[in-house]
Structure 1
Amino acid sequence: MSAADLILTADRIHTLAGDSSPAPTAIALSGGVITALGDRTDVRFWRGPHTEVVDLGDATVTPGLVDGHFHPVMGIGLTRGVDLSSVRTVEGLTAALRAADVAPGGWLEGWGLDPNAFEGAPITHAPLVEAVGPDVPVFLLLFDAHSALVSPKALAMAGIDGPRGFASGASVVCDADRVPTGHLLELEALDLVRTLLPDDAPAERRARLTDLLRRMAACGLTAADAMDFEADSLELFRALEDDGELPVRWRFAPFVMPGTGRDGLDAVIAQQRLSGRRWQVQGAKFMIDGTIDGGTAWLDEPDSHGESTACFWPDPRDYTAAASLLAAHGVPLVTHAIGDAGIRYVLDTYAELAATRVPHRVEHLETMPSELIGRFAELDVTASMQPTHCTSYTRADHTDNWSSRLGKRRADRAFRARDLRDRGARLALGSDWPIAPFDPRAILAAARLRRPAGEPDVEPVLPEQALTARMALEGYTSSAAAAAGLSRSSGRLLPGYRADLTVFALDPLTTGPDELAESPIPLTVVAGTIAHRTG
């Protein structure tokens, strides 16, 4: 073989391609692919005058980590203003808003607010008025990004003075007197106010996206599935590639919203031809329901508030028709489905669709009866889940907002990652950033612990659904590759496969999950080039 571009040696290399004896301790990369595996004595045969050799010592090399659910462009717009993710009480919310810097006449923005801060009381703009008075326009995005809390001034600026009708399952929450409370549910309602917010300058957006990608590479991510391709996504990624190679690969699935007609669907089909050196459009993103926390999921039976009874599409048959048309054109489908009725409807729809080269997917899968578990393997549908949605926003004693809305029976069949794996489902793992942090080390740990990493006093949520260390790692590597239709070229460390690698200082298959969450990442390699290196 010709001389390698890059050679890595390490005490452990997990190929995820079956057991090999002896285990490799050296790997050669050239032209963006893996060219050889062996031991340290083989290096002299692979190297040439321009080969870079990196001895990683007591480290572990794995296939590159892939985040299965991410919102990069949407996320850099949503994470503006005050980070409210650590707020736990209404008093804490008021204090955080009082401490915020607001320019005279400007907006106060925030994100990441957990509805559990209201401790079961109605979510209203009263704390906003108490914090900054009635004349400041405030827009606070709740943690799920499907709902927001806005001030009376923001409502007035948007001309919202009562209930509104929407094509989707969105709503302006009102009190008994039909006066808006400031709580907005789902995207169409949020956009009534969000369109009034000041825009970031294009240079600022490029800078924020560049920083995001660098931070992703620094924690071991080599690729991600982006669940949107709206706004200036095309311009941003083309601009970044004009400046150099992306440190993270991307697959994009543009949104298809209720009311999208044939012209809109044809546009999504046309977008499938868009690509760059390390990004491509491949898929279409639907939502069949909203969220349990907001009362907009689609459940077989109402939640404890009498809500979550309707499909996000006013007529579910319109979703089926749009999905059928796109699948017939070879477009793989991605559908957000959280409630049991929604998951069932999506699986029934997929069962009738034309097969595509890349398997269809269902995202989130929060509460699901046992009879649906086996259908994922039967239909060859990818189950895509985000372990920290469970561990960060629900509690084992069911006192959180999510669980209390569902009730014990449905909360006890939640986030069934292990059941899906045990029944042969293809399970991809991810973060849903900015809904939750994207660091894969913490997510791998949460998948095994069923509680937040580093918090041993927290009771695990349904610990029988914990994944093994290998299952969790596969969810970020080999299963992620299979979900993208790349089983024969990615997700394992084999000659001819993509040279995307993640290096852990600790061994993700033997290190305790709490310790793994703190493991340094010495090196991240994408397409055979170093995307991140410590020191």
Structure 2
Amino acid sequence: MRYYLEADTIIMNARVFTMDDLQPRAEAIAIKDGNIVYVGSEEEVFSWKGENTQIVDVNGKTVLPGFIESHTHPVEYGLNLLKLDCRPNETPSIGAILKKVKEKADRLPEGEWIRGWGWDDSRMKEKRNPTRWDLDKVAPNHPVILERTCKHMAVCNSKALEISGVSENTSSPDGGHIEREKDTGKLTGLVQEKAQGMIAVPQYKVKDIIKGMKLAQKDFAKWGITTVHEMGTQANYFRAYQEMDMNKDLQVRIRPWFWAIDQNGFQGYFDEVLALGIQSGLGDDMIKVQGMKFMLDGSVGGKTAAVEMPYENEENRGILYDNADHFSPFVKQALEAGLRVAIHGIGERAIEVAITAFERASTSVDIKKMRNRIEHCGLPTHDHLRRMKNLELIAASSIGFVYYLGDSYLKNLGEERVKRVYPHRYFKEYDIVAPGNSDLPVTGGNPWTGIYAAVNRKTISGQVLDKTQNITIHDAIKAYTADAAYSSGEEHLIGVIRPSAKADIIVVSENPYEIDVENLIDINVEYTFLNGKLIYNQ
């Protein structure tokens, strides 16, 4: 007599690393109705086999939980796939960027916007930002805006500035900067931080967002990502996700954080979300509201992160968007309304304001079990780490930056400060949960680059940033699975292979625990399952 239900799928002949401390290893998995129903031995798993059970023999390959990206901008990435690709591997020089812009201008009617993304001055031949004069040469009659890889600045041509009403007489907004030539005062076309919101770029429609997301989620599946935290949710983004879900087109779990305050070209929804009474946890397994997202500073690569000491060889200390006295009431109000809070803070000054806001709120709200977060958390001090642990704050660490942006971090911060950038060893010592992320599309979205960076602390150029903050392979994988699941309160549902968890599972080409750590970055995903359904097969 058989006592088990018939499984839909059995994965066998596997080396399963479950990320479950109660049962770290297994040989086989049984799946029923999108959930894992058995994890254990190959001998026992066949008790779940029925006439219609699909058997997936992975030939001794390594099986892991689906990856969770704790900080991404999926819609922005999807829309970027509809724009000019100006990433360094595509356009290694300003000349190459201009060639792409000219080709686009030649095809578009005059007056239509040309949009691009991904340029990185630190990795281009000229080692400088493009200017409006560069762009004017190839597209004088089209408004052009090209976003830097960090998303904290963009360069526009003269036509875009004219349409937007930005001139030499326009003042920089608080928390933003319109760059001018030092000698002449003329606009260079570069707009930083909040100044980006002054550019009158037309809004994308929901149909455009869906088109881009369908492209983006193909890459997520290829990278083994089954859940993404959307860190800049706009109303039209939320609608697009819902439409895709209703039409059964959504192939990645979405964890939306609503953008709180008007900044950087994004509309804030603080008042609207609170007025509707929305709380963290609203939704289902595919789309589940997380809370409110705030921003306090910029990026290290763009020298706009609010650091304590000036950047190397200059007096600039970055841009701090707000002070604790003005900012703290927003945080307190969101927490009192039952909304978790995530605060972008990279530099020490920004992290200080973020922690202070949480501390002030904690006097009237019990926040320790809410799993509030500091996003990126790039340069925390030991005092910051102690206070974060006291409040049980999560460090949503952009460890992927070490690989892609590490060379600019070393240049801008110097050898000593870079030893505590995205300090995963310190996070572990202070028992602070630190899920990893890429901030896609700021950097590439493949989690293995973040895992490689966490283990090796090595940049894309092969430069070792430090030997202080390295962590083990197991802890690095946990950062993209179990720890990331913990950050949304779903550690029993996703990011783990155990009975009753969702059957979000990946099969990878190599055993990361056995290969040389230098080869971690070369691991490929061969199968990705979401809710027990195969959504990617290499």
* SS of structure 2 residue aligned to 1:28: strand
Q: Distance in 2 between matches of 1:277 and 1:344?
A: 34
Q: Alpha-carbon deviation of 1:525?
A: 1.9
Q: Alpha-carbon deviation of 1:302?
A: 3.6
1:424 aligns with: 431
2:340 aligns with: 332
Q: Alpha-carbon deviation of 1:412?
A: 3.9
CA deviation profile, 1:418-474 (whole Å, cap 9, x unmatched): 222233211101111111111122322222222257x6xx22111332221101100
Q: Distance in 2 between matches of 1:133 and 1:490?
A: 48
* SS of structure 2 residue aligned to 1:362: strand
Q: Determine if contact 1:58/1:505 at 8 Å carries over to the other structure.
A: no
Q: Distance in 2 between matches of 1:355 and 1:6?
A: 43
Code of the residue aligned with 1:39 in structure 2: it is S
Q: Determine if contact 2:418/2:466 at 8 Å carries over to the other structure.
A: no
Q: Determine if contact 1:78/1:141 at 8 Å carries over to the other structure.
A: no
Counterpart of 1:308 (choices 290, 314, 317) is 317
C-alpha change, 1:133 and 1:97, in structure 2 (3 Å) is closer
C-alpha change, 1:118 and 1:336, in structure 2 (3 Å) is farther
- Alignment map for 1:178-193 (pairs within 5 Å): 178-186=185-193, 188-193=194-199
Q: Alpha-carbon deviation of 1:390?
A: 1.9
1:17 aligns with: 20
* SS of structure 2 residue aligned to 1:311: coil
Counterpart of 2:389 (choices 366, 377, 388) is 377
RMSD (Å), alpha carbons: 2.7
Are 1:286 and 2:294 matched, yes or no? yes
Q: Distance in 2 between matches of 1:491 and 1:99?
A: 44
Q: Determine if contact 1:289/1:339 at 8 Å carries over to the other structure.
A: yes
- Alignment map for 1:36-435 (pairs within 5 Å): 36-86=38-88, 87-98=91-102, 100=104, 102=106, 103-105=108-110, 106-116=112-122, 117=124, 124-130=131-137, 132=138, 134-162=140-168, 164-165=170-171, 168-176=174-182, 177-186=184-193, 188-193=194-199, 195-197=200-202, 200=204, 202-244=206-248, 246-257=250-261, 263-264=271-272, 266-267=274-275, 269-270=277-278, 272=280, 275-303=283-311, 304-308=313-317, 310-313=319-322, 315-352=323-360, 353=362, 354-356=365-367, 357-395=369-407, 400=408, 402-435=409-442
Q: Distance in 1 between matches of 2:454 and 2:5?
A: 41
Q: Distance in 1 between matches of 2:417 and 2:524?
A: 38
* SS of structure 1 residue aligned to 2:496: coil
Q: Distance in 2 between matches of 1:526 and 1:81?
A: 29
CA deviation profile, 1:277-329 (whole Å, cap 9, x unmatched): 5112111101011223334322223434433354212x432321010111112
Q: Distance in 1 between matches of 2:349 and 2:531?
A: 41
For structure 1, the 5+ residue unaligned runs are none
Residue-pair matches, total: 520
Q: Distance in 2 between matches of 1:328 and 1:417?
A: 31
C-alpha change, 1:523 and 1:121, in structure 2 (3 Å) is closer
C-alpha change, 1:196 and 1:377, in structure 2 (3 Å) is closer
2:449 aligns with: 442
Q: Determine if contact 1:508/1:516 at 8 Å carries over to the other structure.
A: yes
For structure 2, the 5+ residue unaligned runs are none
Q: Determine if contact 1:392/1:451 at 8 Å carries over to the other structure.
A: no
Q: Determine if contact 1:269/1:331 at 8 Å carries over to the other structure.
A: no
Q: Alpha-carbon deviation of 1:89?
A: 3.9
Q: Alpha-carbon deviation of 1:407?
A: 4.2
* SS of structure 2 residue aligned to 1:77: helix
Counterpart of 1:503 (choices 504, 507, 526) is 507
Code of the residue aligned with 2:448 in structure 1: it is R
Q: Distance in 1 between matches of 2:455 and 2:154?
A: 32
Q: Determine if contact 2:63/2:507 at 8 Å carries over to the other structure.
A: yes
After TM superposition, the structure 1 stretch with the greater mean CA deviation from structure 2, 479-488 or 443-452, is: 443-452
Are 1:460 and 2:469 matched, yes or no? no
Q: Determine if contact 1:93/1:127 at 8 Å carries over to the other structure.
A: no
Are 1:482 and 2:486 matched, yes or no? yes
Q: Determine if contact 2:176/2:192 at 8 Å carries over to the other structure.
A: yes
* SS of structure 2 residue aligned to 1:214: helix
Q: Alpha-carbon deviation of 1:485?
A: 1.3
* SS of structure 1 residue aligned to 2:44: helix
C-alpha change, 1:471 and 1:246, in structure 2 (3 Å) is same
Q: Percent identity?
A: 22
Q: Determine if contact 1:388/1:452 at 8 Å carries over to the other structure.
A: no
Q: Distance in 1 between matches of 2:533 and 2:56?
A: 12
Q: Distance in 1 between matches of 2:483 and 2:50?
A: 34
Q: Distance in 1 between matches of 2:315 and 2:504?
A: 48
Q: Distance in 2 between matches of 1:493 and 1:164?
A: 56
Q: Alpha-carbon deviation of 1:240?
A: 0.9
C-alpha change, 1:172 and 1:368, in structure 2 (3 Å) is same
User: What TM-score, normalized by structure 1, do the two folds share?
Assistant: 0.89
1:5 aligns with: 8
Counterpart of 1:32 (choices 31, 34, 47) is 34
Q: Alpha-carbon deviation of 1:165?
A: 4.8
Q: Alpha-carbon deviation of 1:269?
A: 4.6
